[in-house]
C-alpha cells in the first residue's frame, strides 16, 4: 500500500508538472500570455487599453462598482441589457463586483493586487489615496514589481491638475475641434472619441514599455497618462505647423492642410477620396485621367505649388472626374499604386470583402465585435475567449481562486461587499 501510494504520488506530481508545462507553452502562444491585469477603469480609455491587452493573451479582471461600468447603459442599441458601447470595449475579461467604499471591499482588492502584474485605474486623482491604496504611499513598497497605470483628464499638476476630463470637452479645450470642419464653419467635434481611444492605446504602449523595463530592473513603476496630453500629442500636423509658422491653423474640411490633391471628390456614381502624396504620384494620376497637360502646368509643378493653387486644381479635377465610375476608378488607381478609395458608410464597409477576408469582425454566439488589428506572425490572439461579461459574472469564481473560504465568500455577499449577476 505504501509503495502504491508513493507511486500514485509520483504519478500525480509528474502529471502536474506536465500540466504546468502545457499551460506555459499555451501562454507562449500569445504575445503577453501569463500576464495578469487588474482593470479598475471604466468608460472608454482604460477599458479600450485592457481589451487590447486581453486580446493578446493577458488575463484581465475587470473590477466594477455595484452599479457597474457606466457604459453598460449607454444605449440603445442594447442586447440582454448591455449596450453596444460596453460590449465593444470589454471582451476577453472577467468581471468581479466590489464595493470599494467598504473596508472589506478594499481588503478583497488588496488580495487581487497580490497576484497582479498590472493595475490600471481612471478614478479622480486622489481616490486611491483616500482608500489607503495610493501607489507612492502604499502599493509601491508592498508590491515593488507592480506596474501601475493611472489615466486622468489633466494629470495631477498644473492649474487643471486633478480635475475631471471627458473626451468631447478636451477636444474643445485642446484645439482639436478648432481644426475640424470646413474653413468657415464653427469648431466641430470629431465623430469618434478619438482622445479616449488614443489615450487607451498610449496606456497600452506605456504598460508594455514598463513591463519590458521590469525584465531588467525587476521593479514596476507608475505610468501617468492624461487625456489632455494625449490630445496635444495627436494634434498633428496642426501643432507642428503652428510651432514652425506661428500662424493659427484653420479647418480645411476634407482636404489636407499640407498636401494637394488630398481631398474628397465627386464622380458619376459616388464620392471618392484621393491621397496624392508626391510629384510622381500626381503625374501618374494625371496620366490615368488623360489630363497630362495639368501635370505640366507650372502652377502644379510641386506639392507646395499645388497647395498654393489647390482651389484651381480642385476645380480641374472635379471636371475631370465627373464622368468616371467612382468604384471602378478608385480600384484602378489603387492597382497602379495610387491612394484612392470610395467614401463608404459603416454598413457598406462592414459588408465588404476586405473585412470578411481579413476576419475583421469577430462572432461568438450572439456577440459580434471588431477584431484586434494587430496580427503577429507567431503569436496568436484570443478571438473571443470570454464574451463581454455580465456585471459581476465571475465574482464567486475569482474569490475562490483568491483562496477565500466558502463561509467568507457567503458573508461578503450577505454584506453586499461583493455581488454577482444573480444579485
Average pLDDT over residues 373-380: 92
- 335 lies in a domain? yes
Residues 268 and 189 in one domain: no
- 41 lies in a domain? yes
Residues 79 and 196 in one domain: yes
Phi-psi region of 406 (alpha: psi -120 to 50; beta: other; left: phi over 0): alpha
- 365 lies in a domain? no
pLDDT band with cut points at 50, 70 and 90 for residue 392 = very high
CATH of residue 293:
3.30.1540.10
Given a contact cutoff of 8 angstroms between Cβ atoms, the answer to whether 417 and 96 are in contact is no
User: What integer pLDDT is reported at residue 411 of this predicted model?
Assistant: 97
Residues 218 and 266 in one domain: no
Average pLDDT, the chain: 93
Given a contact cutoff of 8 angstroms between Cβ atoms, the answer to whether 211 and 146 are in contact is no
Average pLDDT over residues 228-242: 97
Residues 301 and 155 in one domain: no
* Tally of domains within the chain: 2
- 97 lies in a domain? yes
Residues 100 and 215 in one domain: yes
Residues 134 and 196 in one domain: yes
Q: Is the pLDDT of residue 2 over 70?
A: no
Residues 101 and 39 in one domain: yes
Structural domain span for residue 299: 262-350
Residues 44 and 168 in one domain: yes
Distance, in Å, from the CA atom of 214 to the CA atom of 246, rounded to the nearest integer, reads: 42
Residues labelled catalytic:
196
Residues 203 and 67 in one domain: yes
Work out the percent of the chain whose per-residue pLDDT is above 70: 93
Given a contact cutoff of 8 angstroms between Cβ atoms, the answer to whether 49 and 203 are in contact is yes
- 202 lies in a domain? yes
Residues 192 and 303 in one domain: no
User: What integer pLDDT is reported at residue 6 of this predicted model?
Assistant: 54
Supply the pTM of this predicted model. Answer: 0.90
Extract the C-alpha cell encoding 124. 479622480
Beta bridge partners of 225: 151
Given a contact cutoff of 8 angstroms between Cβ atoms, the answer to whether 352 and 344 are in contact is yes
pLDDT band with cut points at 50, 70 and 90 for residue 20 = very low
Residues 112 and 202 in one domain: yes
Average pLDDT over residues 266-293: 97
Contacts of 402 (CB under 8 A, 6+ apart): 108, 111, 112, 115
Residues 144 and 282 in one domain: no
Amino acid at each position: 500500500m505504501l509503495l502504491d501510494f508513493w507511486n500514485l504520488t509520483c504519478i500525480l506530481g509528474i502529471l502536474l508538472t506536465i500540466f504546468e508545462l502545457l499551460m506555459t507553452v499555451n501562454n507562449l502562444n500569445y504575445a503577453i500570455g501569463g500576464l495578469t491585469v487588474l482593470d479598475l477603469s471604466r468608460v472608454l480609455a482604460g477599458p479600450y487599453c485592457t481589451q487590447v491587452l486581453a486580446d493578446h493573451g493577458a488575463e484581465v479582471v475587470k473590477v466594477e462598482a455595484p452599479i457597474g461600468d457606466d457604459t453598460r447603459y449607454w444605449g440603445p442599441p442594447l442586447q440582454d441589457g448591455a449596450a453596444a458601447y460596453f460590449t465593444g470595449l470589454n471582451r476577453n475579461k472577467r468581471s468581479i463586483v466590489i464595493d470599494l467604499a467598504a473596508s472589506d471591499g478594499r481588503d478583497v482588492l488588496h488580495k487581487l493586487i497580490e497576484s497582479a502584474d498590472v493595475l490600471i485605474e481612471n478614478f479622480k486623482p486622489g481616490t486611491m489615496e483616500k482608500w489607503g491604496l495610493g501607489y507612492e504611499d502604499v502599493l509601491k513598497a508592498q508590491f515593488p514589481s507592480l506596474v501601475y497605470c493611472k489615466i486622468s483628464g489633466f494629470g495631477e499638476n498644473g492649474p487643471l491638475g486633478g480635475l475631471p476630463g471627458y473626451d468631447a470637452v478636451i477636444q474643445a479645450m485642446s484645439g482639436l475641434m478648432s481644426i475640424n470642419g470646413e474653413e468657415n464653419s464653427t469648431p466641430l467635434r470629431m465623430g469618434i472619441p478619438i482622445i479616449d481611444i488614443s489615450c487607451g492605446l498610449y496606456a497600452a504602449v506605456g504598460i508594455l514599455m514598463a513591463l519590458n523595463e521590469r525584465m531588467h530592473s525587476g521593479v514596476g513603476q507608475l505610468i501617468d497618462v492624461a487625456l489632455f496630453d494625449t490630445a496635444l500629442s495627436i494634434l498633428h500636423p496642426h501643432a507642428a505647423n503652428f510651432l514652425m509658422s506661428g500662424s493659427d491653423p484653420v479647418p480645411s474640411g476634407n482636404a489636407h492642410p499640407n498636401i494637394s490633391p488630398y481631398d474628397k471628390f465627386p464622380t458619376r456614381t459616388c464620392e471618392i477620396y484621393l491621397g496624392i502624396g508626391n510629384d510622381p504620384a500626381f503625374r501618374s494620376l494625371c496620366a490615368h485621367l488623360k489630363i497630362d497637360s495639368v501635370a505640366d502646368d507650372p502652377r502644379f509643378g510641386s506639392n507646395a505649388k499645388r497647395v498654393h493653387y489647390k482651389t484651381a486644381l480642385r476645380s480641374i479635377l472635379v471636371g475631370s472626374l465627373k464622368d468616371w465610375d467612382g468604384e471602378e476608378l478608385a480600384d484602378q488607381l489603387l492597382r497602379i499604386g495610387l491612394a484612392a478609395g470610395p467614401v463608404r458608410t459603416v454598413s457598406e464597409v462592414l459588408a465588404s470583402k476586405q473585412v470578411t477576408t481579413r476576419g475583421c469582425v469577430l462572432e461568438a454566439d450572439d456577440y459580434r465585435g471588431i477584431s484586434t488589428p494587430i496580427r503577429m506572425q507567431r503569436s496568436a490572439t484570443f478571438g473571443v475567449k470570454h464574451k463581454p461579461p455580465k456585471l459581476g459574472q465571475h465574482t464567486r469564481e475569482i474569490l475562490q481562486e483568491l483562496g477565500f473560504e466558502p463561509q467568507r465568500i457567503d458573508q461578503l455577499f450577505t454584506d453586499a461587499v461583493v455581488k454577482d449577476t444573480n444579485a
